[in-house]
């Protein structure tokens, strides 16, 4: 593990030095101006320890910093972790359970306060004090986390996060080795905030930051203004490069149709929301140069409740997987340019992914066509023919379309199906709660960080299933003790041999796919539509478009 | 000759005949009735149209190919220019039985869905109107005739219902029942059933009928013929049925088209918000919702059902006004809060 981290640091330094001159040169030429962004609504709370949205996480990138960060780069490079507020990647000891970071000196928060080790300790405590949404999962392995989870108010993480003021070091102690801890520390939920930040959801109040930008104004109904942090001095171009625009103005409230028109007219530079489907043809032909298509590590899928009829029967689940025409779904999503058909859980080009598709006309590596005859035969064999199935979908055009299509598929193979659209604000929690007895639904999962466990362990482990809870992310209720044991083994193996672990994850992916607790539908791509004046568009696979690395003048 | 005619006994027409004669001379009302009846007939022919057009208006047909002037045309056309992004449903062919109004985003025949949607909208609005009139009339009769504590309790219940904004109440009830349906004792209505919007819309408009009816019954309760019947020992239920109900019939008849119009609007609004008729079934509200995502490329998908709602509601309102003038020109029945 230690060797691996040293090699990563060396590679990071090399990459950084190679990038540096070009960035510095461009910075002089293009620095300044205002980037204008649009979204239908705000991303919720401003608090980075709480906000758990793509929109929020993307915006935090030039604002907040953790001890480590995902490299602000395009392609696979963007998945690598580099030191940020820490001088270097941590030294690892105690059989992979202790991580020691040395904090950089001379960094100030946007309010003028110096960054110190006490801020780091307080920030880790705050993750638990504000009941951060991932405090019980991503950070539960820190020594003392169990006490913090039981009593959030008096959280000290004693023995878990230890600061040495004189040496300027922070030592993170884990209860057991965790191969993914650096990824977790690079997420916005682990950014470092001033020690005196109140231990409560800050809502609409901006919290001082260390990055090149700070939030200078925010109204959840109108917009957010992000301006330069006067105390910022670049310390690592790969972790936190200085940005081009002076101001990022994010306005809320415009519909997707209106946002497209605003960008076409040069009144805005980018929109967060997906482009309206009826504008795709026009934009794809007339505004090609302003469109950027980027792969996403995401999965659109239809969870099948393995604890309720008819999908408590494996053959019934497999029947649905055979019957669904992925090409039709891709068509509904906008065509092959914007999505690819899938059968399995792990997205393409993701750690542990090996092409696999058993539920197709010619089973093998890739999906080719639905096998409706096989599906009908399986429904007959399962003895579930004629049973009623309700599909719960989000009340959005695309989700509703998919629901209606799946309803016709289920009807075709012998079920009595209907589809219920539920408000997008409610649907995701509704389908998780077992009290709602959801048989089938349509939803999406976007990776938190680039590890196979973020899909397989989170979505299909026994521990992710919680009876009667709105936070039971194992929506299928799938629990296979043997597969669970293999997942634990893969997690442990990742600490010493990530390649071998990924091989094991690939095998687990196949086993889960075979059991069909969910039907893989397609892998979406991100389509960004920018104004003509946007230059240097860079797409980071972890947090999407790197906003402040683009210029407007 | 003239003196002989004057001497003949004059045949007087009954109040109903007078009213219908008056209605028949109201050109606007009769034209509106004709328009509405044409819409009703067209909507009730939906299954026949779908069979004739060999189309299933409820199934996704994204890969369908139709023939136009001997050429094969895909129902969903992929953009062939530039990046080739997105699919656009076929536009109106203006050929009856062959995607006359084009297709929606699922490749379904919009004309067939429009007729089925109208059928559902009319059925829901009609059934909800009957429900509201029965329950509202019963509540108004009982409260107005028996008075006292009965009146107080019923009137306060109606006041509570009246206090909620109609759409807010309808939306709230729909959201609560949309996923699981309703189960009260032996009565069970499954989610997705058309009975859910019927009952919800029926309930929210009860005060609109019950309050004016109660007022009329209250006035009739102390009229001489009712007091005479009471003094003669005629049972209360008989007085209600034989003496009071016939006297409020004209009001109830006037309510029918006006309530239908209101109910159609409410049903469309609920379905547009995905809490009325559930997919893949259609109503004019759900078709507008489907068409919302196609406003830029295929605006007719949303515009035609919108137009159908507007024409139907206007026809019902104009006919309702004519009916009111014909049956009871002094009536103050108006639908609304004042």
Q: What is the pLDDT of residue A4?
A: 39
Is the backbone peptide bond immediately before A60 cis, with ω within 30 degrees of 0? no
Note whether B63 contacts A392, CB cutoff 8 Å: no
CB atoms within 10 A of CB A249: 18
- Helical segments of A157-255, H only: 181-185
Torsion of CA B232, B238, B241, B244, to 10 degrees: 20
Whether A162 contacts A173, CB under 8 Å:
yes
B5-32 confidence digits (pLDDT tens): 455 566 677 778 888 888 999 999 999 9
Angle subtended at Cα A462 by Cα A350 and Cα A375, rounded to the nearest 5 degrees: 70
| Shortest alpha-carbon distance between residue A391 and chain B (Å) | 10
> Is residue B330 very low, low, confident or very high in pLDDT (cuts 50, 70, 90)?
low
- Find the Cα–Cα–Cα–Cα dihedral A527, A533, A539, A542, rounded to 10°: -90
For residues A307 and A476, give the distance between their C-alpha atoms in angstroms, rounded to a whole number. Answer: 8
ipTM of the complex: 0.81
User: What pLDDT does residue A180 have?
Assistant: 95
> Per the structure block, which two tokens stand in for A450?
């680039």
Task: Test A328 with B62 for CB contact under 8 angstroms.
Answer: yes
> In this predicted structure, what is the pLDDT of residue A12?
46
| Radius of gyration in angstroms for the set of CA atoms belonging to chain A, rounded to a whole number | 24
- B59 interaction partners in chain A (CB closer than 8 Å): 408, 411
Does B331 score more than 90 pLDDT? no
DSSP state of A365: S
What pLDDT, on a 0 to 100 scale, did the predictor assign at position B329? 57
Strands (E), A196-256: 213-219, 223-228, 247-252
Selected residue of A398, A420, A434, A442 to mutate for chain B interface (largest B Cβ count, 10 A):
A420
pLDDT for A396 equals 85
pLDDT of residue A15: 46
pLDDT at A13: 45
Amino acid B184: pLDDT: 81
At A14 the pLDDT is 46
- Cβ pair A498, A459 in contact under 8 A: no
Residue B243's pLDDT is: 92
Give the pLDDT mean for B204-213: 95
Residue B305: its H or E element: helix B300-327
Q: At B336, give phi and psi (nearest 5°).
A: 155, 180
Q: Structure tokens of A135? A: 């405090």
| The pair of three-digit structure tokens given for residue B95, joined into one six-digit string | 């050929």
**Closest Cα to residue A237, out of A552, A548, A553, A551?**
A548
DSSP letters, B64-111, are -EEEETTEEEESEEEP-STT---EEE------TTS-TT-B-TTS-BHH
Tokens describing residue A224 = 């957010």
Do B85 and A420 lie within an 8 Å CB cutoff? no
Chain B contact present for A467, CB below 8 A = no
Partner-chain contact B105 A397, CB within 8 Å:
yes
Cα distances (Å, whole numbers) of residue A168 to A64, A117, A539, B309: 20, 6, 34, 72
Q: Which of A449, A547, A451, A540 is nearest to A72 (CA)?
A: A540
Q: Do A334 and B280 touch (CB under 8 A)?
A: no
Tokens of A207: 């919290």
Q: Which two tokens stand for residue B16?
A: 């109903």
Nearest to A337 among B81, B83, B294 (CB): B83
Give the CA radius of gyration of chain B. 25
Residue A337 and residue B179: Cβ atoms within 8 Å? no
What the block records as the tokens of B310 is 């507007």
Within 8 A of A338 by CB-CB distance, chain B residues are: 85
Asked if A281's CB is within 8 angstroms of B274's CB, the reply is no
Does the CA dihedral A457-A455-A92-A235 come out positive or negative?
A: negative
In the predicted model, residues of chain A with pLDDT beneath 50 are 1-19
Concatenating the DSSP letter of every residue in B5-69 gives: HHHSPP-PPPHHHHHHHHHHH-HHHHHHHHHHHHHHHHHHTHHHHHHHTT--TTS--TT-EEEET
What is the pTM assigned to this prediction?
0.85
Least CB–CB distance from B84: residue in A278, A284, A430:
A284
**Best mutation site among A259, A274, A277, A437 for testing chain B: the one with the most B CBs within 10 Å?**
A277
Tens digits of per-residue pLDDT, B226-277?
999 999 999 999 999 999 999 999 999 999 999 999 999 999 999 998 888 9
How confident is the model at residue A17, as a pLDDT? 45
Give B142-197 pLDDT, tens digit per residue: 999 999 999 999 999 999 998 999 888 888 888 888 777 888 888 888 877 899 99
CA angle in degrees (0–180, nearest 5) for A153-A154-A157: 115
Q: What is the pLDDT of residue B9?
A: 60
């Amino acid at each position: 593990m230690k060797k691996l981290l040293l090699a990563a640091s060396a590679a990071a330094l090399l990459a950084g030095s190679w990038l540096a001159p070009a960035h510095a040169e461009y910075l002089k030429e293009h620095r300044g101006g205002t980037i204008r962004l649009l979204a239908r609504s705000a991303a919720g709370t401003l608090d980075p320890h709480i906000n758990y949205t793509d929109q929020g996480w993307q915006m935090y990138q030039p604002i907040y910093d953790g001890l480590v960060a995902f490299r602000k780069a395009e392609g696979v490079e963007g998945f690598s972790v580099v030191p940020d507020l820490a001088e270097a990647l941590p030294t690892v000891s105690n059989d992979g359970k202790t991580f020691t970071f040395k904090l950089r000196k001379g960094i100030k928060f946007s309010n003028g306060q110096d960054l110190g080790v006490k801020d780091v300790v307080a920030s880790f405590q705050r993750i638990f004090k504000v009941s951060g949404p991932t405090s019980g999962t991503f950070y539960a392995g820190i020594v003392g986390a169990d006490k913090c989870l039981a009593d959030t108010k008096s959280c000290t993480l004693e023995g878990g996060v230890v600061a040495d003021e004189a040496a300027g070091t922070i030592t993170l102690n884990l209860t057991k080795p965790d191969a993914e801890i650096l990824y977790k520390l690079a997420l916005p939920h682990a950014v470092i905030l001033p020690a005196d930040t109140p231990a409560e959801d800050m809502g609409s109040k901006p919290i001082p930051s260390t990055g090149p930008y700070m939030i200078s104004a925010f109204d959840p109904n109108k917009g957010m203004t992000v301006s330069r942090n006067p105390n910022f001095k670049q310390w690592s171009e790969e972790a936190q490069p200085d940005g081009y625009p002076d101001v990022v103005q994010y306005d809320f409230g415009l519909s997707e149709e209106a946002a497209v028109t605003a960008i076409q007219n040069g009144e805005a530079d980018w929109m967060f929301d997906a482009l309206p489907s009826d504008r795709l043809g026009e934009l794809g032909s007339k505004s090609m140069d302003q469109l950027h298509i980027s792969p996403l590590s995401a999965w659109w899928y239809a969870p099948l409740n393995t604890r309720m009829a008819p999908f408590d029967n494996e053959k019934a689940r497999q029947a649905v997987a055979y019957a669904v025409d992925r090409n039709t779904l891709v068509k509904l999503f906008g065509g092959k340019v914007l999505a690819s058909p899938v059968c399995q859980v792990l997205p393409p080009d993701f750690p542990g992914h090996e092409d696999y598709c058993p539920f197709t006309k010619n089973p093998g590596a890739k999906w080719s066509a639905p096998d409706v005859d096989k599906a009908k035969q399986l429904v007959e064999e399962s003895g579930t023919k004629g049973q009623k199935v309700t599909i719960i979908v989000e009340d959005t055009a695309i989700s509703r379309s998919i629901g209606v299509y799946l309803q016709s598929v289920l009807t075709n193979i012998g079920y009595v199906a209907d589809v219920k659209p539920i408000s997008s604000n409610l649907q995701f929690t509704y389908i998780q709660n077992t009290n709602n007895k959801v048989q089938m639904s349509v939803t999406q999962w976007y990776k938190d960080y680039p590890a196979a466990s973020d899909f397989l362990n989170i979505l299909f482990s026994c521990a992710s299933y919680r009876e009667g809870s709105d936070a039971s992310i194992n929506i299928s209720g799938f629990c296979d003790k043997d597969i669970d044991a293999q997942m634990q083994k893969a997690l442990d193996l990742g600490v010493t041999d990530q390649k071998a672990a990924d091989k094991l994850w690939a095998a687990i992916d196949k086993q889960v796919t075979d059991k069909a607790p969910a039907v893989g539908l397609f892998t979406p791509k991100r389509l960004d539509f920018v104004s003509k004046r946007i230059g240097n568009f860079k797409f980071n696979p972890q947090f999407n478009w790197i906003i402040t690395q683009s210029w407007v003048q | 000759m003239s003196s002989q005619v004057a001497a003949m006994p004059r045949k007087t027409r009954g109040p109903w005949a007078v009213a219908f004669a008056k209605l028949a001379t109201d050109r606007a009302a009769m034209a509106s009735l004709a328009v509405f009846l044409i819409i009703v007939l067209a909507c009730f022919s939906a299954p026949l149209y779908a069979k004739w057009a060999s189309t299933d208006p409820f199934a996704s047909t994204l890969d369908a190919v139709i023939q136009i002037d001997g050429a094969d045309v895909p129902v969903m056309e992929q953009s062939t220019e530039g990046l080739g992004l997105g699919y656009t449903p076929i536009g109106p062919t203006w050929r009856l039985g062959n995607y006359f109004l084009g297709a929606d985003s699922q490749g379904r025949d919009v004309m067939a869905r429009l007729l089925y949607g109208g059928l559902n909208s009319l059925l829901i609005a009609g059934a909800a109107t009957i429900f509201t009139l029965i329950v509202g009339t019963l509540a108004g009769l009982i409260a107005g005739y028996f008075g006292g504590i009965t009146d107080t309790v019923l009137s306060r219940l109606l006041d509570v219902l009246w206090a909620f904004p109609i759409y807010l109440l309808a939306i709230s009830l729909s959201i609560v029942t949309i996923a699981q349906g309703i189960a009260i004792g032996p009565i069970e209505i499954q989610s997705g059933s058309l009975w859910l919007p019927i009952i919800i819309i029926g309930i929210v408009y009860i005060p609109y009928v019950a309050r004016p009816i109660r007022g009329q019954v209250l006035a009739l309760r102390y009229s001489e013929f009712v007091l005479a019947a009471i003094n003669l020992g005629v049972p209360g239920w008989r007085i209600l049925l034989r003496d009071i109900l016939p006297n409020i019939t004209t009001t109830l008849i006037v309510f029918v088209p006006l309530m239908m119009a209101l109910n159609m609007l409410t049903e469309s609004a609920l379905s547009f918000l995905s809490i009325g008729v559930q997919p893949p079934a259609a109503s004019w509200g759900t078709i507008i919702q489907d068409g919302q995502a196609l406003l830029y490329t295929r605006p007719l998908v949303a515009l035609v059902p919108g137009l159908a709602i507007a024409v139907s509601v206007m026809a019902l309102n104009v006919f309702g006004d004519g009916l009111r003038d014909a049956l009871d020109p002094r009536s103050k029945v108006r639908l609304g809060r004042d």
